[in-house]
C-alpha cells in the first residue's frame, strides 16, 4: 500500500458526527400502511376534506404502482408495512414562544448548529425546524410577515392559507407522478410552505432543517415554494438523522413554482445518516424535487451537496415552461463506504429561448456506487433552447464505481444541446507537487477535492458554502470537523 | 417453403415458426449446431422480443417492427437474374474480392468455400460448417451472447448461411474482401443471416460490407456478425448501408478482441427505412485498441439508431467511439453508447463522442452517451451534442461569394468528413467520400445503382 | 549542506544513476549540465523524493540528517524546493489558497502562528513585485491554463514565497524567452545568501549568463564525468557535449 493509498484509506473511514439520538417523548401511531392510517394522519392534523381526498387518491394509486427498478442501485426489499408513518414530539400545538419548547429539542438543534433563538441565528437566515413528522419552530415568521412573505410549516399553511395550498399542491409533482411521490402524497406529515408575493425580494435566506429522531419511522415531508411575479427567494434545506442499525425511509416531495420574472434558488445540504462503514443502517433517501419556471423570464436553480444516506434516488428537475426561462442544477455527490447514489437532473424545455445548465460532480470512495442520471428534453415548440451539461466523476480507490447515464431527446432543430463528462482520479503528480511545497498528502487531497467541487460550492449561499466545504472533508477524511 | 403466420405475440410466433420448421432448421445431422439452435429458441422464449419499455430499444420499437407479417425462406431460392443487369456496385474501383449474399444465402458463383494460397479460407458459412467444423464451432455463437440478447437469439435460431472468413496466423491478407448483401424477392420477406470472421494471431484483413435492396418489396433483415480477433491481429470492417425506405435492417456485430489486437469498424448509413445497428465489443486482453465509428444521413421518414457497447475487461486498452448524424425532414436518429470499465481494467482510455445536426423542424434526435466505471485509474470521457450548422460560418462563406446551398453542403460535408477520414483504406475512403457528397447533394437515391427502373 | 554519496537510482528496474557523488555547501551555486537522458531530472526527483524513483544504493545527507528517510513534504519543510520541469495543473485550487496552505504548513513546522488571509495577501503582493510576476497569475487555479513560460515564472514566484535553503531548478530555463529568463535568474539571485544554496539543472549554458555558478558538473550516462568552475560551461557551449563524451569513451 502506498502512502497515498494509506491516507486515502484513513480519510475515507470518516465517522458520522450527527448520529446522536435525543430522548424526548414521542407520539407515534402503529406500524403499517392502509387507508385507515392515511385517515388517521389527516385527522391528527385536522385537515380539510379536500386534502384527505388528495391523500386517498394518491394512496389508491400507490397501491397499483411498483417501486422503480431502473436506477443503478441495489436495494433490499422494503416492507412498507413495517414502518411507522407518523411520529411527533409530544406536544399540543406549535410553540409560539421558545420558552415552551422542550429544552432537549433546543439542545438538539443547537448540537446540529441550528439555533432556534432568533438572536443567536446565523445572520439573515430564517429557519423552519422539522423533527420527525412535525415542524417544531419557525423563526422570523413575524419579521417576514411584515413584507407579506408567508413562511410557515405546511400544516399551518393548510390552516391559514388553504386556497394557496390547494392551488399549488400537486401542481408540479402530481400525486401519481412516481412511486415515492404517490407514497408521500398519501402520508406526508409536515414540511415547509413559502409564498413570496409579487415584487418582493426576500431579504433573508429561508431554511428548513429536517431531523429524523424516532426509530422505525419514515419521514415524509412536503415542501411547497411559490415565488410570484418579479420576486426572489433563496432557500436552504439541511437534514440529519441518528445512527441506527436499521434502514429508515425518507420520501419527500418538493415543489417549486416561479412566476413571471421570479427567481427561486433552492440549495440542499443532504447529510442523512449514511450507515456505518460496513453498510449497516442508514437512510433510504427517495426524493422527488421539481420546479416549474412557469412565467416568462423566470429562473429556478437547484444546488445540492449530497454526502449522506445509504441510498439516494433524487433528480431535482426544472420544467421550463415560460419563454426565456432558465433552469440550473449544480450538484456535488459524495459516496463512501457502501453508499449508493443515483442522482441527477431533468430539464424539460417547453418555452422559447429556454436555457438550462447542469454541472454535476460525483466523488466515489470506499465500496460505493455513484451514478449521474439526467434527461435533457427539448420539446417541439422550444425554439432556440440551449443546454449545457458537464458531469465529472472522481474516483478515490479501486473498489468504487462512477457511472454516467445522460439522456438527450431533441425534437427541435433550433436547439443546441451539449453534454460533456470526464472520469478521473487524483493525479499522483498533483499530490507530489503539493508535497514538494510542504503540504501533507491529507491536506492535498482535501484541497484537490474542494477545488474539483468548487464550481458547485460557489453556488451555495455564503453561510453554507463553508459548512458544505467542511462536510465534504468530513465525509471523506474522518478528521474531526 | 414459405410459411405465413399471424399471431398476437411476436415472440410466440417466432417460437412457433421454429417448431413448424424444425425439420429444415435441425435437419443437417449436426448435433452441435442443433443444440445451439434449441438453446437459442429457449432463450428467445424466455427473454422475449423487446417491447417499447425495454431500455435497450427505448428509441426503436423493435417489437412492433417484427410484428408484421413476413415470409421466411429457409432454403436458397433460385432467382434467375444476371447481376450485371440489375446492380452495379457503389464501390467498384477498389481492388476487392467480391462475395454475393442473396437474401441471406451465399450466392454460388463457383466454389462454395475456397482455401486461398496464403491459407485464408473464405466462402459460405454453411459450407464451412461441413468442411471445417472444428474451426467454425470453436468460435460460432461464442460471442453473440444469444443467451442474454433476444435479437441475437432470434438470429441464432434461424440463420442458416452467410459468410465465413478465416485468416491464419501472421497472414496479412492484402486484398479487401467485399461482401454484398442483396435483397431481391417477389414478396415481402424476413432475412436472417450470419457472418463469422476469425483472425488468428498476428493476422490482418479488411472487410467491406455493402447492404442493398434490389426490389421494392418490404424486407426485414436481422443479421449477426461475429468477429474473433486473436492476439496482435488487425481488422478493419467497413459497412455501407444503402437500402430502400421500406426496409428494416437490424445488424448485430459481436467483436471479441484479444491482447494487442486492433479492430476498427466504420458504419456508414446512407439510406434505409429503419436501421438499428448494435455493436458489442469485448476487450479481452491487454493493450487492445477498438475504434467504432459511424456516420448516418437520414431524411424523409427514415429512422436510424446506433447502439455501441464497449466492455473494457482488461487493463491498458483504448477505445474510441465517434458517431455523427445529419437528420433532415421527418428523420429520427438515436445513439446509445456505453463504456463499461470492469474493476481490473486499470489504465483504460475510453472516449465517446456523438454529434448530431438537425436540419429541419421535424427531425428528432435522442442520444444516450453512457459511462459505467469500476476502476479508478482510467481516463474516460464522453460528449454529445445536438445542434445546427454554424450560422457564423455560413455567413462567412456567403460573404466570400459562396451561395447558401453550397455553403450548407460544404459545412455538412466537413461535419461528416471527420468519420470518413478514419476509414483506413484510401481507395475506399475516397469512394465513400464521393458517395456521402452525392448523398448530401440529393443525387444518390436507392435507385442510383439499380437498373430495374421499377419506379 | 548536501552530501550525495555514491547514489544509485532505478526507475522501473532500470539503473539511471550509477553512483553520483556531489557536495553542496551553503552559499554555493552548482550547475548540473548534460545531454538529454543523462539522468539530470532523475537526480532532482531523487532529491525531492518522488515515489517512482527508487534509490538502490548510496546516501544523501542534508543538514546532517538522512534525507532519504524523509517524506517529500518533510523535505520541503526542511527547506528543499524543487522547481519542476513540467509543473502540474491543479484545477479549482487557487494559487492563493495553495500557497497560503504551504506557507502555513511551513510556519506550523517552525512553531510559528499561521498567517491571516490579510497578512498572507500582503506578503504575496511583496513577493510578486520582487519577482516581477503578473498579478493575475495568482488569481487563477494552480498552473491551470498557464503557458509554458507562465508556469516557470510561477515556480520562481513560489520559490520566492517559500524562501528555501536549497533550491533545485530542473530545466527551469527551457522554453523561456529572454525576458522570462531574466525573471527566473533574478529570482535565483535574490535568494542567494551565505545560508542558502542552489542547484541549477540545465541543458544549455544560456541561463548561466545570468546566474553565475560556482561549480559546473557534467552528468553523462548516470555519472558525473567532469566537474569544474564556470568556465566549464562556456567550454561546453563552444564545443558541445561530444567533446566530453568522446573523452569518456576514449578512457
In tens, the pLDDT along B288-343 reads 999 999 999 998 899 999 999 999 999 999 999 999 999 998 999 999 999 999 99
Measuring CA to CA, which residue among A215, A237, A29, A219 is closest to residue A125? A237
Report residue A183 as a C-alpha cell. 407514497
Task: Write b or e for each residue in C227-246: b if 16 or more Cβ atoms lie within 10 A of its Cβ, otherwise e.
Answer: eeebebbebbeeeebeebbe
Query: Is the predicted pLDDT of residue A226 greater than 60, yes or no?
Result: yes
Interface chains of chain A (3 or more CB pairs under 8 Å): B, C
3-state secondary structure chain A: CCHHHHHHHHHCCCCCCCCCCCCCCEEECCCCCCHHHHHHHHHHCCCCHHHHHHHHHHHHHHHHCCCCCCCCCCCCCCCHHHCECCEEECCCCCCCCHHHCCHHHHHHHHHCCCCCCHHHCCCCEEEEEEECCEEEEECCHHHHHCCCCEEEEHHHHHHHCHHHHHHHCCCCCCCCCCHHHHHHHHHCCCCEEEEECCCCECCCEEEEEEECCCCCECECCEEEEEECCCCEEEEEEEEECCCCCCEEEECCEEEEEECCCCEEEEEEEECCCCCCCCCCCEEEEEEEEEEEECCCCCEEEEEEEECCCCEEEECCEEEECCCCCEEEEEEEEEECCCCEEEECCEEEECCCCCEEEEEEEEEECCCCEEEEEEEEEECCCCCCCEEEEEEEEEECCCCCEEEEEEEEEECCCCCEEEEEEEEEECCHHHHHHHHHCCCCHHHHHHHHHHHHHHHHHCCCCHHHHHHHHHHHHHHHHCCCC
Residues of C in contact with A454 (CB under 8 A): 92
* Phi (first) and psi of residue A44, to 5 degrees: -55, -30
Query: Chain B within 8 Å of A402 (Cβ-Cβ)?
Result: yes
Report mean pLDDT in 10-residue bins for chain C, 251 residues: 94 91 93 88 91 90 93 90 88 83 88 88 84 74 85 88 91 79 83 91 83 91 89 82 72 53
Smallest Cα distance from A443 to chain C, Å: 9
Residues of C in contact with A433 (CB under 8 A): 84, 87-88, 90, 142
Measured distance CA(C89)–CA(C168) in Å, rounded: 20
pLDDT score for B6: 37
Query: Chain C within 8 Å of A5 (Cβ-Cβ)?
Result: no
pLDDT band with cut points at 50, 70 and 90 for residue A463:
low
Report residue A156 as a C-alpha cell. 399551518
Query: Chain A within 8 Å of B376 (Cβ-Cβ)?
Result: yes
pTM, whole model, 2 decimals? 0.83
Measuring CA to CA, which residue among A12, A34, A80, A82 is closest to residue A473? A12
Q: Which of B368, B373, B378 sits opposite A406 (nearest CB)?
A: B368
Whether C92 sits inside 8 A of A455 (CB atoms) is yes
Higher pLDDT, A293 or B455: A293
Site from A413, A421, A445 to mutate, B interface, most B CB atoms within 10 angstroms = A413
pLDDT score for A308: 85
Residue of A nearest to B334 (CA): A409
Measured distance CA(C184)–CA(C181) in Å, rounded: 5
Site from A409, A424, A428, A445 to mutate, B interface, most B CB atoms within 10 angstroms = A409
Whether C77 sits inside 8 A of A453 (CB atoms) is no
Q: Are C and A touching by the rule of 3+ CB pairs within 8 Å?
A: yes
Whether A423 sits inside 8 A of B381 (CB atoms) is yes
Whether B371 sits inside 8 A of A401 (CB atoms) is no
pLDDT score for A49: 93
Q: Which of C75, C94, C102 sits opposite A439 (nearest CB)?
A: C102
Residues of A in contact with C141 (CB under 8 A): 451
Q: Which of A398, A409, A416 sits opposite B387 (nearest CB)?
A: A416
Q: Which of B362, B376, B381 sits opposite A398 (nearest CB)?
A: B376
CA distances in angstroms from B243 to B180, B182, B253, B328, B452, listed in the order given:
12, 9, 18, 18, 15
Measured distance CA(A400)–CA(A423) in Å, rounded: 13
Whether A433 sits inside 8 A of C77 (CB atoms) is no
Write the burial class of residue B252 (CB in 10 Å: 0-12 exposed, 13-18 middle, 19+ buried).
Answer: buried
pLDDT tens string A55-67: 999 999 999 999 8
Cα pseudo-dihedral B3, B9, B11, B14, rounded to 10 = -10
Interface chains of chain B (3 or more CB pairs under 8 Å): A
Smallest Cα distance from A480 to chain B, Å: 27
pLDDT tens string A231-273: 999 988 877 666 777 788 889 999 999 999 999 999 988 888 8
Query: Is the predicted pLDDT of residue A369 greater than 70, yes or no?
Result: yes
Interface of A with C in 439-478 (CB under 8 A): 439-441, 443, 447-448, 450-455
Residues of chain B predicted below pLDDT 70: 1-8, 28, 80-96, 444-455
CA distances in angstroms from A426 to A339, A365, B317, listed in the order given:
20, 12, 20
pLDDT score for B39: 94
Higher pLDDT, C197 or A133: C197
Strand order in the sheet with C53-62: C14-24, C2-11, C53-62, C65-66
pLDDT band with cut points at 50, 70 and 90 for residue A421:
confident
Query: Is the predicted pLDDT of residue A300 greater than 80, yes or no?
Result: yes
- Give domain limits for chain B: 3-441
Q: How many CB pairs under 8 A join A and B?
A: 114
Residues of C in contact with A434 (CB under 8 A): 73, 90, 98, 102
Smallest Cα distance from C112 to chain A, Å: 15
Whether A408 sits inside 8 A of B366 (CB atoms) is yes
Higher pLDDT, B340 or A308: B340
Q: Which of A2, A437, A443 sits opposite C51 (nearest CB)?
A: A2
Whether A415 sits inside 8 A of B387 (CB atoms) is yes
Whether C72 sits inside 8 A of A433 (CB atoms) is no
Q: Which of A411, A419, A424 sits opposite B379 (nearest CB)?
A: A424
- Give domain limits for chain A: 26-354+368-379
Whether C99 sits inside 8 A of A429 (CB atoms) is no
Q: So what's the ipTM on this one?
A: 0.82
Q: If you average pLDDT over every residue of chain A, what do you get?
A: 84
Whether B361 sits inside 8 A of A380 (CB atoms) is yes
Query: Chain C within 8 Å of A428 (Cβ-Cβ)?
Result: yes
Query: Chain A within 8 Å of B384 (Cβ-Cβ)?
Result: yes
Smallest Cα distance from B7 to chain A, Å: 30
Whether A428 sits inside 8 A of C102 (CB atoms) is no
Residues of B in contact with A412 (CB under 8 A): 358, 361
pLDDT tens string A136-194: 667 777 788 889 999 888 988 999 999 999 999 999 999 989 999 999 999 998 888 99
How large a percentage of chain A has pLDDT more than 70?
81
Residues of A in contact with C158 (CB under 8 A): 437
Domains of chain C, each with CATH number or no CATH:
2-250 (3.40.50.300)
Site from B371, B375, B392, B412 to mutate, A interface, most A CB atoms within 10 angstroms = B371
pLDDT score for A97: 60
Residues of B in contact with A419 (CB under 8 A): 367, 369, 382-385
For β-strands B219-229 and B189-191, DSSP reports them as parallel
Measured distance CA(A322)–CA(A302) in Å, rounded: 18
Report residue A147 as a C-alpha cell. 413584507
Amino acid at each position: 500500500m502506498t502512502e497515498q493509498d494509506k491516507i486515502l484509506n484513513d480519510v475515507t473511514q470518516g465517522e458520522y458526527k450527527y448520529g446522536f439520538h435525543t430522548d424526548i417523548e414521542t407520539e407515534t401511531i402503529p406500524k403499517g400502511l392502509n387507508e385507515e392510517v392515511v385517515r388517521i394522519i389527516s385527522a391528527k392534523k385536522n385537515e380539510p376534506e379536500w386534502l384527505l381526498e388528495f391523500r386517498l387518491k394518491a394512496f389508491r394509486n400507490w397501491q397499483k404502482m411498483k417501486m422503480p427498478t431502473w436506477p443503478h442501485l441495489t436495494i433490499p426489499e422494503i416492507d412498507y408495512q413495517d414502518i411507522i408513518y407518523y411520529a411527533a414530539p409530544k406536544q399540543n400545538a406549535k410553540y409560539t414562544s421558545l420558552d415552551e419548547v422542550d429544552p432537549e429539542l433546543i439542545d438538539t438543534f443547537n448540537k446540529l448548529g441550528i439555533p432556534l433563538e432568533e438572536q443567536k441565528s446565523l445572520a439573515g437566515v430564517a429557519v423552519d425546524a422539522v423533527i420527525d413528522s412535525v415542524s417544531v419552530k419557525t423563526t422570523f415568521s413575524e419579521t417576514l410577515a411584515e413584507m407579506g412573505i408567508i413562511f410557515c410549516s405546511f400544516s399551518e399553511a393548510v390552516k391559514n392559507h388553504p386556497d394557496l395550498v390547494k392551488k399549488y399542491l400537486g401542481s408540479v409533482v402530481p400525486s401519481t407522478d412516481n412511486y415515492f411521490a404517490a407514497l408521500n402524497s398519501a402520508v406526508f406529515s409536515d414540511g415547509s410552505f413559502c409564498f413570496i408575493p409579487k415584487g418582493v425580494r426576500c431579504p433573508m435566506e429561508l431554511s428548513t432543517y429536517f431531523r429524523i429522531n424516532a426509530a422505525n419511522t419514515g419521514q415524509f415531508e412536503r415542501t411547497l415554494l411559490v415565488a410570484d411575479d418579479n420576486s426572489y427567494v433563496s432557500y436552504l434545506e439541511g437534514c440529519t438523522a441518528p445512527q441506527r442499525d436499521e434502514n429508515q425511509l425518507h420520501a419527500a416531495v418538493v415543489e417549486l413554482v416561479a412566476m413571471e420574472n421570479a427567481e427561486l434558488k433552492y440549495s440542499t445540504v443532504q447529510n442523512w445518516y449514511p450507515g456505518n462503514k460496513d453498510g449497516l443502517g442508514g437512510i433510504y433517501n427517495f426524493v422527488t424535487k421539481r420546479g416549474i419556471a412557469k412565467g416568462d423570464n423566470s429562473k429556478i436553480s437547484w444546488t445540492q451537496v449530497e454526502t449522506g444516506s445509504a441510498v439516494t434516488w433524487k433528480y431535482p428537475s426544472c420544467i421550463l415552461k415560460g419563454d426565456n426561462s432558465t433552469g440550473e442544477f449544480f450538484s456535488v455527490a459524495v459516496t463512501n463506504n457502501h453508499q449508493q447514489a443515483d442522482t441527477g437532473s431533468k430539464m424539460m424545455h417547453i418555452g422559447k429561448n429556454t436555457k438550462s445548465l447542469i454541472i454535476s460532480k460525483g466523488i466515489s470512495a470506499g465500496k460505493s456506487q455513484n451514478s449521474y442520471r439526467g434527461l435533457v428534453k427539448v420539446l417541439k415548440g422550444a425554439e432556440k433552447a440551449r443546454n449545457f451539461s458537464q458531469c465529472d466523476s472522481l474516483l478515490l480507490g479501486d473498489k468504487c464505481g462512477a457511472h454516467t447515464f445522460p439522456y438527450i431527446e431533441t425534437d427541435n432543430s433550433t436547439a443546441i444541446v451539449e453534454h460533456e463528462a470526464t472520469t478521473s482520479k487524483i493525479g499522483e503528480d498533483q499530490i507530489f507537487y503539493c508535497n514538494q511545497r510542504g503540504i501533507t498528502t491529507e491536506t492535498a487531497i482535501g484541497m484537490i477535492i474542494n477545488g474539483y467541487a468548487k464550481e458547485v460550492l460557489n453556488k451555495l449561499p455564503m453561510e453554507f458554502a463553508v459548512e458544505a466545504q467542511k462536510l465534504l472533508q468530513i465525509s471523506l477524511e474522518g478528521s474531526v470537523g | 417453403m414459405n410459411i405465413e403466420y399471424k399471431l398476437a405475440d411476436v415472440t410466440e410466433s417466432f417460437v412457433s415458426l421454429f417448431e413448424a420448421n424444425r425439420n429444415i432448421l435441425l435437419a443437417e445431422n449436426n448435433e452441435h449446431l442443433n443444440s445451439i439452435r434449441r438453446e437459442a429458441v429457449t432463450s428467445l422464449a424466455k427473454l422475449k422480443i423487446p417491447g417499447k419499455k425495454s431500455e435497450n430499444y427505448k428509441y426503436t420499437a423493435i417489437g412492433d417492427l417484427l410484428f408484421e407479417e413476413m415470409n421466411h425462406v429457409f432454403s436458397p431460392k433460385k432467382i434467375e437474374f444476371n447481376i450485371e443487369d440489375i446492380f452495379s456496385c457503389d464501390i467498384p474501383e477498389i481492388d476487392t474480392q467480391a462475395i454475393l449474399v442473396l437474401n441471406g444465402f451465399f450466392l454460388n458463383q463457383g466454389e462454395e468455400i475456397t482455401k486461398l494460397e496464403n491459407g485464408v479460407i473464405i466462402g459460405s458459412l454453411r459450407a464451412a460448417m461441413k468442411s471445417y467444423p472444428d474451426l467454425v464451432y470453436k468460435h460460432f455463437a461464442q460471442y453473440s451472447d444469444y443467451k442474454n440478447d433476444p435479437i441475437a437469439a432470434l438470429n441464432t435460431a434461424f440463420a442458416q448461411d452467410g459468410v465465413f472468413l478465416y485468416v491464419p496466423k501472421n497472414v496479412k491478407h492484402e486484398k479487401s474482401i467485399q461482401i454484398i448483401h442483396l435483397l431481391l424477392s417477389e414478396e415481402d420477406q424476413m432475412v436472417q443471416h450470419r457472418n463469422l470472421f476469425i483472425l488468428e494471431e498476428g493476422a490482418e484483413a479488411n472487410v467491406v460490407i455493402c447492404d442493398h435492396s434490389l426490389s421494392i418489396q418490404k424486407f426485414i433483415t436481422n443479421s449477426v456478425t461475429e468477429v474473433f480477433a486473436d492476439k496482435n491481429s488487425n481488422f478493419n470492417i467497413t459497412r455501407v448501408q444503402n437500402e430502400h425506405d421500406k426496409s428494416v435492417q437490424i445488424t448485430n456485430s459481436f467483436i471479441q478482441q484479444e491482447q494487442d489486437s486492433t479492430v476498427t469498424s466504420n458504419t456508414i448509413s446512407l439510406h434505409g427505412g429503419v436501421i438499428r445497428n448494435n455493436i458489442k465489443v469485448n476487450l479481452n486482453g491487454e493493450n487492445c485498441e477498438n475504434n467504432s465509428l459511424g456516420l448516418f444521413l437520414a431524411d424523409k421518414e427514415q429512422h436510424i439508431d446506433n447502439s455501441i457497447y464497449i466492455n473494457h475487461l482488461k487493463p491498458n486498452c483504448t477505445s474510441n467511439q465517434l458517431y455523427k448524424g445529419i437528420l433532415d425532414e421527418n428523420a429520427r436518429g438515436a445513439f446509445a453508447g456505453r463504456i463499461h470499465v470492469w474493476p481490473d481494467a486499470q489504465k483504460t482510455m475510453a472516449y465517446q463522442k456523438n454529434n448530431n445536426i438537425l436540419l429541419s423542424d421535424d427531425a428528432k434526435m435522442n442520444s444516450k452517451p453512457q459511462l459505467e466505471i469500476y476502476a479508478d485509474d482510467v481516463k474516460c470521457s464522453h460528449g454529445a451534442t445536438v445542434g445546427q450548422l454554424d450560422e457564423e460560418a455560413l455567413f462567412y462563406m456567403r460573404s466570400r461569394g459562396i451561395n447558401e446551398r453550397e455553403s450548407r453542403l460544404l459545412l455538412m460535408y466537413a461535419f461528416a468528413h471527420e468519420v470518413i477520414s478514419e476509414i483506413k483504406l484510401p481507395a475506399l475512403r475516397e469512394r465513400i467520400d464521393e458517395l456521402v457528397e452525392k448523398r448530401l447533394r440529393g443525387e444518390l437515391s436507392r435507385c442510383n445503382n439499380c437498373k430495374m427502373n421499377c419506379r | 549542506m548536501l552530501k550525495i554519496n555514491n547514489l544509485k537510482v532505478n526507475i522501473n528496474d532500470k539503473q539511471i544513476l550509477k553512483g553520483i557523488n556531489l557536495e553542496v555547501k551553503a552559499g554555493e551555486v552548482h550547475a548540473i549540465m548534460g545531454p538529454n537522458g543523462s539522468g539530470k531530472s532523475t537526480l532532482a526527483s531523487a532529491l525531492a523524493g518522488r515515489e517512482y524513483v527508487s534509490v538502490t544504493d548510496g546516501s544523501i545527507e542534508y543538514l546532517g540528517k538522512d534525507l532519504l528517510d524523509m517524506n517529500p513534504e518533510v523535505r520541503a519543510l526542511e527547506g528543499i524546493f524543487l522547481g519542476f520541469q513540467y509543473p502540474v495543473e491543479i484545477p479549482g485550487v487557487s494559487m492563493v489558497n495553495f500557497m497560503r496552505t504551504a506557507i502555513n504548513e511551513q510556519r506550523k513546522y517552525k512553531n510559528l502562528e499561521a498567517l491571516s488571509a490579510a497578512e498572507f495577501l500582503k506578503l504575496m503582493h511583496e513577493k510578486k513585485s520582487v519577482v516581477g510576476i503578473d498579478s493575475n497569475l495568482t488569481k487563477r487555479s494552480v498552473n491551470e491554463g498557464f503557458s509554458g513560460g507562465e508556469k516557470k515564472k510561477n515556480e520562481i514566484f513560489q520559490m520566492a514565497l517559500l524562501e528555501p535553503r536549497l533550491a533545485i531548478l530542473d530545466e527551469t530555463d527551457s522554453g523561456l524567452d529572454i525576458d522570462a529568463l531574466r525573471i527566473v535568474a533574478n529570482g535565483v539571485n535574490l535568494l542567494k545568501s551565505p545560508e542558502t544554496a542552489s542547484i541549477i539543472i540545465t541543458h544549455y549554458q544560456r541561463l548561466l549568463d545570468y546566474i553565475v555558478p560556482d561549480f559546473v558538473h557534467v552528468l553523462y550516462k548516470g555519472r558525473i564525468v567532469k566537474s569544474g568552475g564556470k568556465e566549464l560551461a562556456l567550454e561546453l557551449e563552444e564545443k558541445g557535449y561530444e567533446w566530453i563524451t568522446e573523452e569518456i569513451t576514449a578512457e
